[in-house]
Amino acid sequence: MTGKVREQQGVQSIEVGGRLLECLAAAKGPMMLKELAQAADMPAPQAHRYLVSFMRMGLVEQHAETGLYDLGAFALQLGLSALGRIEPVTIATAYLADLSREIQQTVALAVWANHGATMVRWVSADTPVSATLRLGSVMPLTRSATGGVFLAYLSRSATSRLVRQELAENVRNQLTPTTAAEVDEWIERIRRRGYAYVADFIPGVEGASAPVFDHSGDVVLALTALGYNKPFQAKSQQIVAALKRTASTISQRLGYDKDRISA
């Protein structure tokens, strides 16, 4: 032994092809072959060969209408599996079914991932919410209850870029909020109440979300309940109370001590 750690041999072609997956993961949306090859610093014909193999594996998909490349279903499955093995998710998941039964609403868990507030667990009620949401959905910070929780309790440095992007999109799409002042007011309201409540993100659906904190006082999860407007409104106080109580219980399981953190 020389004291030097010998570098393990790998498969270079996999590492080279992996650059394409890294570029797709970092992109804001689907990419053309030419721009994807340039981003990965490889010739387009070489990139295409890798992409064909990745498509066969389900890691990449090509949109039939546009020819653009994007991450595939298996890539999403890998990402969700990795997120789902984070300890807070494992602990919190055990509480979802009981909460859903208690409030008779759909409940979900979200984590903060590379692209924002990402849904990783979902338990439907007997009358599941008919919406476009699904596992892996990234929720807007300025318009959804789930996103609002992370917006209110994460640092500004973690959310500022996404907030700027969303406000610009809101202006283009004639949605609210459109100003930083409106966002600040919402953040203050969420912190004062201890939860976020939204009635106009998805037509006909209302949602509430509460933060889950870890032992260091950092927000690690958003616990969300959502349902159709009228039944949700009729029991909103009970729903929010159960949601906050469950989020507090999970936080305690993760070692959160509000008095110690505040001291």
222 belongs to a structural domain: yes
pLDDT given for residue 2 in this prediction: 42
Q: Clarify whether residues 135 and 225 are in a common domain.
A: yes
Domain co-membership, 118 together with 211: yes
Number of compact structural domains in the chain: 2
- Mark whether 215 and 94 lie in a shared domain: yes
- The reply to whether 117 falls in a domain is yes
Same domain, 99 and 135: yes
Q: What is the pLDDT of residues 58-83, one digit of tens each?
A: 999 999 989 999 999 898 888 777 76
Candidates 57, 58, 59, 78; CA nearest to 20 is 59
Are 51 and 139 within one domain? Answer: no
Q: What is the pLDDT of residue 220?
A: 96
pLDDT at 80: 74
> Which pLDDT value is given to residue 81?
75
Residues 56 and 95 in one domain: no
Residue 109 CA to residue 99 CA, distance in Å, equals 12
Same domain, 55 and 91: no
CATH code of the domain containing 176: 3.30.450.40
Indicate whether 204 and 153 sit together in one domain: yes
Domain span including residue 219: 83-262
**Residue 3's pLDDT is what?**
44
Q: How far apart are CA 108 and CA 97, in angstroms?
A: 10
Contacts with 61 (C-beta within 8 Å, 6 or more apart), sequence order: 55, 69, 70, 71, 72, 73
In the beta sheet, which residues pair with residue 121?
A: 109
Q: Is residue 167 part of a domain?
A: yes
Task: Return the closest-CA partner of residue 256 out of 84, 91, 100.
Answer: 91
CATH number of the domain where residue 39 is located: 1.10.10.10
pTM beyond 0.75: no
- Whether 17 and 107 map to the same domain: the answer is no
227 and 110 within one domain:
yes
Please tell me the predicted confidence (pLDDT) of residue 5. 41
Whether residue 136 sits in one domain with residue 55: no
State the DSSP code for 199.
E
Question: How many angstroms separate the CA atoms of 115 and 205, rounded?
Answer: 24
Q: Does the residue 6 lie in any domain?
A: no
Residues, the chain: 263
Query: Running along the chain, 263 residues long, what does each successive block of 10 average in pLDDT?
Result: 53 88 88 95 95 95 93 85 76 95 95 91 76 79 97 96 95 95 97 95 92 93 94 94 98 84 62
Residue 254 lies in a domain: yes
Q: Cα–Cα distance between 17 and 161 in angstroms, integer?
A: 29
Instruction: Report if residue 2 sits inside a domain.
Output: no
Show the CA angle centred on residue 238, arms to residues 233 and 243, nearest 5°. 105
Predicted local distance difference test score (pLDDT) of residue 251 = 95
Q: What is the pLDDT of residue 262?
A: 63
Residue 7 lies in a domain: no
